[in-house]
Amino acid sequence: MGLSAVGFLVVSSAVTMSAPFFLGQVIDTIYTSSSADFSSSLTSLCIMLAGIFLCGGAANAVRVYLMQVSGQQIVRNLRESLFSSILRQEVGFFDKTRTGELINRLSADTALVGHALTDNLSDGLRSVAQAAAGVSMMFYVSPSLATFVLMIVPPMAGLAVIYGRYLRSISKRTQDSLAQATQLAEERISNLRTVRAFGKELSEVQKYAGKVDHVLHLAKKEAVLRAGFFGASGLSGNIIVLSVLYKGGLLMASEHMTVGELTSFLMYAFWVGISIAGFSSFYSELMKGFGAGTRLWELVERKPEFPLNEGLVLKPEHLKGALEFHNVSFAYPTRKDAPIFEDLSLSVPAGSVMAVVGPSGSGKSTLVSLLLRLYDPDSGMVTVDGHDIRDLNPYWLRSHIGTVSQEPVLFSCSIAENIAYGATDPSRVTPQDIIRAAQIANAHGFIRGFPQGFDTVVGEKGVLLSGGQKQRIAIARAFALDAENEFLVQEALDRLMEGRTVLIIAHRLSTIQSADAVAVLDQRRVVECGRHAQLLANQDGLFRKLMEKQAFPQSEQREALSK
């Protein structure tokens, strides 16, 4: 499509560029022909001109259409590869990069690059083609006048290059500050409840205004630069026209040129001037596109720190589920100087339930992140059935781990779609599977109570549901993982754990009591590990202290502690 657009571009330019030549002929006919053949020459020339204008206009319209469509296609492809690259990045990347910035790259920057590569490129090519044709015709009409005019052009071109560089850097800064503004807006809008609870609407508006003010400031700078450049190129255009008139007048006086020739020449010179101005606009847009493009390519080309879908896949019959952390040391990439684990070791036998407890911030969730391979340990290793998880296919690994978190995140689609999200292939999950998963997760009752049942839309991040409801849907979602394995889908919630190795980050005593073992995290390692009763018996142990500290001990707990 791009190529045919270029074809139409060449046709429209060539056809249109022949017009001034024939116009010159018309004028000379008017001046010089005898009355006998005057009217017939004039008519045929005018018909020819009308044809030229018609063909040129039509070819131009087709070119604009083709360019628009191919532009949209480029933007679409760019967006797709960018989104795909973003979703492949490691979790650490998202600790460093803000959502709003990525959204801005996806929407604004892709549009800018698309425009620079199509509409703008097409206009730029047209300018180049017209300028080239114009200059050739100038030489054809009057070589001496053309040589004279062209001496003025090179200094202007040098100026344009310097200007383009500066514009490119400003444009990059504008896009960066726009991304910051979008980031702020995105975060505040998606957490509107918190903004409102603290009555921060006005101050947030002011903060946002500050950011967009900065965008405006840079845009103004860009506008001044642009205006200056256009002014300068306009002025140089006028100087060229004036000198052509002067020199052309002299040539006419010495009978080296006719009126028609001078008119054609002036029209070509004017045309070349317009094309150069068009080219400079193209050039500045192109530089803007480059500014946005550099960032986009960096992101599209970025190699995630670890692969998504490469590595060892264990056969189902070989998968037992023994988990082990061997001398793991780890610090988050954004806080390398604050180690979370040092030489931590923990073994969870296959099929057992391990409760992980510890003070807030001791690294319980981090343990799960390492197991899911959202981050890699700095030293030591995590193994599943003796295999280092760095050798396993991360996609396979995660698809065999069901996660239910305290504050589960749902997507803003229907309850049924949220539950089916847990399956490897959601399109193969039947409505019966979904209902069964909901029943087991004790969610069926409240879902049926909604007027739209399973089609109820849960709102962004599930805001239209209560915390408990969200959690039960998340449990049903973890069940959907096993929709194919009929035998696992049983009646009770406890069954989610059957046949699996389970890590529970626990606060409630009842959960801890039912676990096979309890690991206590503190001071960057596992400080105690054993059965719950065993750990409680240790009067000086951290576990006992943690249990004693709980604000409102339940009766069962008080009983246990009094033993």
Ligand X SMILES: Nc1ncnc2c1ncn2[C@@H]1O[C@H](COP(=O)(O)OP(=O)(O)OP(=O)(O)O)[C@@H](O)[C@H]1O
- CB-nearer residue toward ligand X: 20 or 358: 358
290 and 115 in contact (C-beta within 8 Å)? Answer: no
Q: What is the DSSP string of 56-94?
A: HHHHHHHHHHHHHHHHHHHHHHHHHHHHHHHHHS-HHHH
Beta strands in 199-339 (DSSP E): 323-330
| Contact status: 525 vs ligand X (CB under 6 A) | no
Give yes or no for residue 407 binding ligand X (CB under 6 A).
no
Pick 318 or 336: Cβ nearer ligand X: 336
Stretch that binds ligand X, among 98-106, 122-130, 165-173, 353-361 (CB under 6 A): 353-361
Residue 549 engages ligand X in binding (rule: CB under 6 A): no
CB 406, min distance to ligand X, A: 8
Residue (278 or 333) nearer to ligand X, CB: 333
Instruction: State the minimum distance, in angstroms, from the CB of residue 364 to ligand X.
Output: 4
User: Does residue 270 sit in helix, strand or coil?
Assistant: helix
- The footprint of ligand X on residues 107-166 (CB under 6 A) is none
CB 333 to ligand X: min, Å: 7
Interface map 77-116 toward ligand X (x if CB under 6 A): ------------------x---------------------
Alpha helices in 409-541 (DSSP H): 415-420, 431-440, 444-449, 467-480, 509-514, 532-537
Q: Which stretch binds ligand X (CB under 6 A): 45-53, 198-206, 233-241, 331-339?
A: 331-339
Q: Using CB under 6 A, pick the residue from 206, 365, 538, 554 that binds ligand X.
A: 365
- Per CB under 6 A, 364 contacts ligand X: yes
Q: What are phi and psi of 517, to 5 degrees?
A: -150, 160
SS3 191: coil
Instruction: Compare residues 92 and 530 and give the one whose CB is closer to ligand X.
Output: 92
Sign of dihedral through CA atoms 544, 525, 517, 514?
A: positive
Torsion 379-382-388-394 (CA) sign: negative
Nearest-angstrom CA–CA distance, 107 and 406: 33
The whole-angstrom separation of Cα 468 and Cα 464 is 12
- Minimum CB distance to ligand X, residue 356 (Å): 8
Task: Give burial (CB, 10 Å; 0-12/13-18/19+) of 344.
Answer: buried
Q: Which is nearer to ligand X, 266 or 382 (CB)?
A: 382
| 370 touching ligand X, by CB under 6 A | no
- The two tokens of residue 154 are 């090179």
Q: Which residue from 468, 467, 451 is spatially nearest to 414, judged by alpha carbons? A: 451
The verdict on 335 binding ligand X (CB under 6 A) reads yes
Residue with Cβ nearer ligand X (304 or 426) = 304
* Cα 531 to Cα 310: distance, rounded to the nearest angstrom: 38
CB of 506 to ligand X, least distance (A): 10
Nearer to ligand X, 12 or 366 (CB): 366
Q: Smallest distance, Å, CB 374 to ligand X?
A: 9
Residue 266's identity, in one-letter code, is L
- Is the Cβ of residue 22 or residue 332 nearer to ligand X in the bound state? 332
Smallest distance from ligand X to CB 344, Å: 12
Instruction: Work out whether 334 is an interface residue with ligand X (CB under 6 A).
Output: yes
Q: Could you give the C-alpha distances from 392 to 373, 425, 473, in angstroms and in order? A: 10, 21, 29
The yes or no reply on residue 340 touching ligand X (CB under 6 A) is: yes
Instruction: Tell me if 332 contacts ligand X by CB under 6 A.
Output: yes
Binding residues vs ligand X (CB under 6 A): 95, 332, 334-335, 340, 358, 360-366
